[in-house]
Amino acid sequence: MSRKVILDVDTGTDDAVAIMFAALHPELDLIGVTTVNGNVPVENTTDNTLRVLDWIGRSDIPVFEGLARPIARLGFPTARGDSDGGPHGKALPIPEPRSVRQDTGAVEFLVETLRSATEQITLVPVGPLSNIATALAIDPALTEAVDEVVIMGGGHAVTNMTASAEFNIWADPEAANVVLSAGFGRLTLVPLDATYQALVTRDTCARLEESGTPAGIAASRFISRRIDAYDGTVNAADAAPVHDVVCAAYLVRPEVITTRSLHVTVETAGPLTIGRTVMDTRLNSTQKPNAEVAFGADPQLLADLLLDVFTRPPSTTAASVSPPPE
């Protein structure tokens, strides 16, 4: 039986790769995608999400638009405002969407779906945690319907937004604390420490492109853009992290990451440290772990998974329901 998954995204090039992976992997049943403000404003993350699903023939997966702002810091920037030279850009380089988002909002969808679930659902938030925290504020018992929450966010030795913080957590630190302390049965955190170890190379992009499949072509385009943008900032030539897809890959091959059980909380007060994931790595810590934190990731296994899922002819993927557009 395939695993039921909801992705919460701020699409973004790496979110886009994660969406394609979850939508096309035969062991995953992507029952909905919720969007949130993040890499770009929420109307653009929604538009990008619809583009991706249309492009790979999975317009049947419903998209629900979520929050445009963090839950507490209303004065915070409403999006990272990625520039045309950045790893995302405002609009993904594939055709405009043909399908439209659902009328129901993301938070309403999360609450209704989790309240009425007859099977356990896996939540995979790979953007700021505003939607998930708001749903939990409405009904804290939603955790009972979730077998695992797999979050891309945070950083211990590696950060990217400030000297202390990773973007997804920094963008809504109060929401992150709500989710980390909600009491999920299993919470896996995939921080930058892990995603920077699973760099995807130009060679893999070339192989994806050569396959000629819609997903292969799009993944190559998105990851190549990231490699251009990360040029000189990672410890490898012609490679870049594709953070969010590490979470999707973990769902089907848990050994793609290596984890430690730790207590994690988020700093919300210090002016220099807002959004820092404070991971209690002390060997003599007495704090009860609330997360399985990834500190390692396997680049070869990730590349193999991307090639396996994205280069399959569309007809053999989970449910190719319409041909890709021109």
Q: Does 15 bind Ca ion (CB under 5 A)?
A: yes
Nearest CB to Ca ion, comparing residues 41 and 325: 41
How far apart are CB 284 and ligand RIB at their closest, in Å?
Answer: 31
Question: How far is 56 from 312, CA to CA, in rounded Å?
Answer: 12
Q: What angle do CA 138, 139, 142 make, to 5 degrees?
A: 135
Distances (CA, A) of 150 to 14, 132, 257, 275, 307: 15, 12, 12, 18, 22
Q: Nearest to ligand RIB by Cβ — which residue?
A: 167
How far apart are CB 107 and ligand RIB at their closest, in Å?
Answer: 19
Residue 190's binding partner, choosing from ligand RIB, Ca ion, none, with beta-carbon cut-off 5 to 8 A by kind?
none
Distances (CA, A) of 209 to 65, 94, 157, 284, 323: 30, 14, 34, 49, 18
285: number of Cβ within 10 Å: 12
Residues whose CB is less than 8 angstroms from the CB of residue 106 and which lie 6 or more positions away in sequence, other chains included: 8, 34, 35, 36, 64, 65, 66, 67, 131
Residue 166's binding partner, choosing from Ca ion, ligand RIB, none, with beta-carbon cut-off 5 to 8 A by kind?
ligand RIB
Q: Does 89 bind Ca ion (CB under 5 A)?
A: no
Reference 126, options 42, 10, 267; nearest CA is: 10
Q: Does 126 bind Ca ion (CB under 5 A)?
A: yes
The residues that touch ligand RIB, with contacts defined as CB under 6 A, are 10, 12, 14-15, 38-39, 126-127, 152, 160, 166-168, 243-244
Among 89, 127, 153, 241, contact with Ca ion (rule: CB under 5 A): 127
Q: Does 29 bind Ca ion (CB under 5 A)?
A: no
Cα–chain center distance at 134: 18
For Ca ion, the binding residues in 235-254 under the rule CB under 5 A are 244
Residues whose CB is less than 8 angstroms from the CB of residue 288 and which lie 6 or more positions away in sequence, other chains included: 263
Q: Does 151 bind Ca ion (CB under 5 A)?
A: no
Nearest CB to ligand RIB, comparing residues 169 and 305: 169
Q: Which of 10, 29, 82, 172 is catalytic?
A: 10
> Does the annotation mark 139 as catalytic?
no
Active site residues per annotation: 10
